Structures are given as C-alpha cells and as structure tokens.
Amino acid sequence: MESYIINGGNKLEGRVNISGSKNATLPIMAASILNEGTTTLYNVPDIYDVKIMINILENVGCKIYRNRDKVVIDSRNVSDTVIPDVLMRQMRSSVMLVGAVIGRKRQCNFSYPGGCEIGARPIDLHMRAFRKLNVNVRENSGYIYCDTDCIKNTELNLDFPSVGATENVMLLSVLGEGNTTIKNAAREPEIIDLQNILNKMGAKVQGAGSNIIYIEGVKKLKDVTYTIMPDRIEAGTYLCMGVATKGHIILDNVNVEHISSILSKLEETKARIIIRKNSIELIGNSKIMGIDTIKTMPYPGFPTDMQSQFVSMLTISKGTSIVTENIFENRFKYVSELIRMGAKINVEGRTAIIKGVKNLEGALIEAHDLRGGAALVIAGLIANGQTKLIGIKHIQRGYEDIDKKLLLLGAKIKKGE
C-alpha cells in the first residue's frame, strides 16, 4: 500500500501555490452536462476525485480532453442516464450529477451513494427537493430511479443548509419551467462559483452566498470558459502546517475573504498573519497557544473540513483546546492515530478535548478519510523521528501534489511502499 515517509522537525519555509477548489470543481463539472456543447475549465486541480468525475462523465457520453489544469468537456452526446454503482461508491459527491442528468435528460438511475468514514451521508434532503420539483423518485434494493416529464420549478425550504442539496437543486432547476426559490440554502463560496459559471452559460441564478437562491428556468445553455476559484481548505491546511512547524510561509493564489473564520482561529495560536491582495504570509510562533473553543458550523462559520487539521496542530499547543464537530457525526476517526503518536486527546461524543504535549513521536499510522489524512500529514511534520503514513489515496483525492509542495517548503517527505 502506497505511503508517505515523513521525517519530522523541519520548519516549513517558502511559498506555496494554492490549486483550484475540489469542492467547486466537482459541481461545476456536473453542470457541463446541462449544455449540449463545450465547457472549458481552467485551474482544475489534478486530484483523484476529478479523475473519478471524468470517468463518470465519460460514462454518460461526454468526451473529455485534459491538459494540465485545463479540462474541456464536450457534452453534445450525453446518452446514458445511469451512474454506475462502482463509480458512485468511489465518490459519493457524484450524487450532484443526478440533478444535472435529470435537468438534461429528464431521468437518472443511480445506486444509493453509501456513507463514508465521516458519517452516514444521507441524501434525503436531495430526494425530498427533487420530489417537490415534480421528479418521481423510486427506491428499490439500493437503487434510485428518478424521472419526470417536466421539471416544475417551485419554492422549497431545506431542513438543513446542505451544500450538496443546494447545488443539486440549482443544477436541476436551471432548465426547469418557471422559478425556483431555495430557502435555507447553503452559503459556501463554492456555490457562488457554481452560480457564476451557470450564469455565464446563460442561466438565470441569483442569491448564491446568501441563504435564499433564486433560479429562473431557461430553455437552453451555451458554451462557456471558466476559471475555478482557489481551494480555501487546501489554503487552510497549509496555514495549519505553517503554525504547527513554527515556520514562515507565503500562500499564493488565495481568496482571503473565503478563509476569514480560519484566519481568526489561527491568530488565537499567536501566529502572525499578513494579508496581501492575492497572498497570505504566516509567521508561526515558537509557542503555539491553545484555542479555547472551535465549533464547526455551516459557512461562514468555522468549516468542518478544517476540524481535523486544527486538532492535529493543537496537539503540541500550550494549554487545553476544545473542538466540537457539529456537521458530521463521525469525524474524529483520525484521533486514535494521533494518540498513537503521543497526543493527549479525549473524544466525548462530538467534542474533542486536546491537552497540549511537548511533542509527538513518529509512528506507523493510517489515513481513513481525506481531511483526517491531512491531519496525519501535519502530525508527521511535527513529530520527532520518522512517520510512515499509509492509506494516502484518501489524501490524494483532494490535495494536488501535496508531497511535492511540502518538499518545496523544506519538509522531509517522500512516497514509500
């Protein structure tokens, strides 16, 4: 099984370029199905989840051309409306293809996207919204059959501001009849990116970034060229690495506005942060101060996708920190691996209590999910001695060239068997 071998103790120093956002790229690639033409995307990250999405799009009939960060999707011949089980299982966020396929072909069959390491990941909010938009949804032994003769746009209220459900309803409604209003919509920046490209394609969407989104159905969309926004979670992850290694790093190609909740929490560690137009400079403090409380919330609150990286960074902080995970029910799986390295963490339900220790010791550890895996890379960077981290496929799903970027910052990391 592929691994990262990390020799800890080096301060990270230098510049790192932040790649395009995974969580903006995936719904935007799904949106390409709505146009019987060509979608040209730039700043697409070279990560495993994008490779899976390319496979799924080719499966439904798209032709895809990729050259470095440029991806061209020709969706003139979308013929199939079945999302294969094996691909659905590989990436559960492929559920957001469903809205686009129904929007284009008025039907879609797919297998229930199972849960993953961080939770059950149900899709009840998606299905309830689809039914409100006049889509027949039938479930039978793990398969879901959706079809409609006419998407009737309407007003709907999400029980929870689900990112995926918000995006799926947007994708379903843009070619529907009439107007859709999504109340209690998710406000994540990736949803604004989706609105931007849809409007460039000729859709009529407004309100993304607020909790009410309006979609006026149109007949057709057109070819588009679009550049994906920077990945705010990748940026936050490198900032945590800078603090944890007491280093001095500069992040290029960052949208500072997207990470204000992360920056304010990092400042509580007494790290110094200098903000420039498109870059952020972080100077770590020799003493990392603990953070009294972190509570993950929907955007613009502190992001759940940064929870594990902060916990890892705080293992060697001064004092006690309390981190509460309010979004997913099982997002502390990585903690047992940190404890193997000498961390003092007590998990009670949805709360982790971290008592800072002087340092961690390198060990053999395993990643079980994407962000938990990033947390374990951070632990390897700060631990004494050598850490062997297995299960790195999880990390490669969402971090482009993480080993190469860390090497450039002075880390001792390499791929192992």
CA dist 265 and 280 (Å) reads 15
Token pair recorded at residue 410: 């002075």
Q: Does 305 bind ligand EPZ (CB under 6 A)?
A: yes
Task: Give, rounded to a whole angstrom, the gap between the first and last alpha carbons of the chain.
Answer: 6
Q: Does 125 bind ligand EPZ (CB under 6 A)?
A: yes
Residue 351, beta-bridge partner list: 324, 348
Nearest residue to ligand EPZ by CB is 164
Catalytic, 108? Answer: no
Q: How far is the CB of 206 from ligand EPZ (least distance, A)?
A: 21
The correct pick among 57, 221, 271, 327 for binding ligand EPZ (CB under 6 A) is 327
Q: Does 93 bind ligand EPZ (CB under 6 A)?
A: yes
CA dist 283 and 350 (Å) reads 31
What Rg do the C-alpha atoms of the chain give, in angstroms?
21
Contact 373, 47 (CB under 8 A): no
Q: What are phi and psi of 81, to 5 degrees?
A: -125, 25
Q: How far is the CB of 370 from ligand EPZ (least distance, A)?
A: 5
Pairing between β-strand 279-283 and β-strand 272-275 as defined by DSSP bridges: antiparallel
Token pair recorded at residue 12: 């990270």
How many residues lie near ligand EPZ (CB under 6 A)?
A: 24
Token pair recorded at residue 136: 């027949």
Of 116, 146, 150, 240, the active-site residue reads 116
Region near ligand EPZ per CB under 6 A, out of 137-145, 163-171, 175-183, 403-411? 163-171
Q: Does 371 bind ligand EPZ (CB under 6 A)?
A: yes
b/e burial code for range 378-403 (CB count within 10 A of at least 16 → b):
bbbbbbeebbbbbbbebbbbbbbebb
Sheet holding 179-183, edge to edge: 155-157, 179-183, 212-216, 204-206
The correct pick among 18, 156, 163, 389 for binding ligand EPZ (CB under 6 A) is 163
For the chain, what is the largest distance between any 2 Cα atoms, rounded to a whole number of angstroms? 64
Q: Does 124 bind ligand EPZ (CB under 6 A)?
A: yes
The correct pick among 316, 398, 405, 413 for binding ligand EPZ (CB under 6 A) is 398
The correct pick among 15, 42, 65, 160 for binding ligand EPZ (CB under 6 A) is 160
Q: What residues between 167 and 206 interact with ligand EPZ by CB under 6 A? A: 186
Q: How far is the CB of 27 from ligand EPZ (least distance, A)?
A: 7
Q: How far is the CB of 210 from ligand EPZ (least distance, A)?
A: 16
The correct pick among 29, 41, 165, 262 for binding ligand EPZ (CB under 6 A) is 165
- Residue 137 has a CB neighbour count (10 Å cut-off) of 17
Provide the binding-site residues for ligand EPZ, judged by CB under 6 A: 22-23, 26, 93, 119, 121-126, 160, 162-165, 186, 304-305, 327-328, 370-371, 398
**Annotated catalytic sites, by residue?**
116
